[in-house]
Amino acid sequence: DQQVKQNSPSLSVQEGRISILNCDYTNSMFDYFLWYKKYPAEGPTFLISISSIKDKNEDGRFTVFLNKSAKHLSLHIVPSQPGDSAVYFCAASEGGFKTIFGAGTRLFVKA
Amino acid sequence: GAGVSQTPSNKVTEKGKYVELRCDPISGHTALYWYRQSLGQGPEFLIYFQGTGAADDSGLPNDRFFAVRPEGSVSTLKIQRTERGDSAVYLCASSPEGRDTQYFGPGTRLTVL
């Protein structure tokens, strides 16, 4: 059973527009959520995180929104840049350190 | 500074053989994680170390998999009697303490023929 789901395998966006990546989770005990970005042949790199006590966290062009009642989080990138083209993973952990990742969404930002 | 390094970058082995995969975490990081990533999937948690001890090994798929971190720094993931289904990219990550951003290495691509 997938506790963290990213239902869109890919997303294509025009440069300068907003990219919205979505993630759903099933475990209501998750209390910490993260987004990672991955380029080919590299390990994932941390992008942004949010604690379950918050509903929004912003860092530059990246904002993560958390809707606990819907068990849903999203990553907004605005404005999108061609260098943002990568695979984005949503991840969650429950009270400890074991982190569960989604399957990823491949973002294409077209120039 | 140096990031997380993993060796070898690629490993090809035959079914039934034993393999060891090495992870050098960022200096001073007390927490170390191992993940396995299959094609089209996200990283799958295997084991987490805090210092020298395995704090959570619930992700190890079976007793053919074992990991050690004897001095609280370098870690080795050991796979006995490899099977074709073990083929994947094995990722290592470290963090300053447990509940922090994880810094990933580039991974070891294991292919079992």
B25-59 tens-digit pLDDT: 999 999 999 999 999 899 999 999 998 888 899 99
Nearest-by-CA chain B residue for A94: B99
- DSSP at B105: -
When scoring B9, B39, B102 by the number of chain A Cβ atoms within 10 A, the one with the most, hence best to mutate, is: B102
Which structure tokens are listed for A69? Answer: 């009642």
Q: Which of B105, B6, B20 is nearest to B65 (CA)?
A: B20
The fold of B5-112 is Immunoglobulin-like (2.60.40)
Instruction: Tell me the shortest Cα–Cα distance from B17 to chain A, in angstroms.
Output: 25
Distance CA B71, CA A33 (A): 30
Distance CA A58, CA A48 (A): 8
Nearest-by-CA chain A residue for B102: A46
CB proximity A5 to B under 8 Å: no
> A104 to chain B: which residues are within 8 Å by CB?
41-42
Looking at the partner chain, which of A34, A93, A103 has a beta carbon nearest the beta carbon of B41?
A103
| Cross-chain residue pair A98–B48, CB shorter than 8 Å | yes
**Residue ranges per domain, chain A?**
4-110
CATH architecture of the domain A4-110 equals Sandwich (2.60)
**Residue ranges per domain, chain B?**
5-112
pLDDT digits (tens, 9 = 90+) for A50-102: 999 999 999 999 999 999 999 999 999 999 999 999 999 999 998 767 899 99
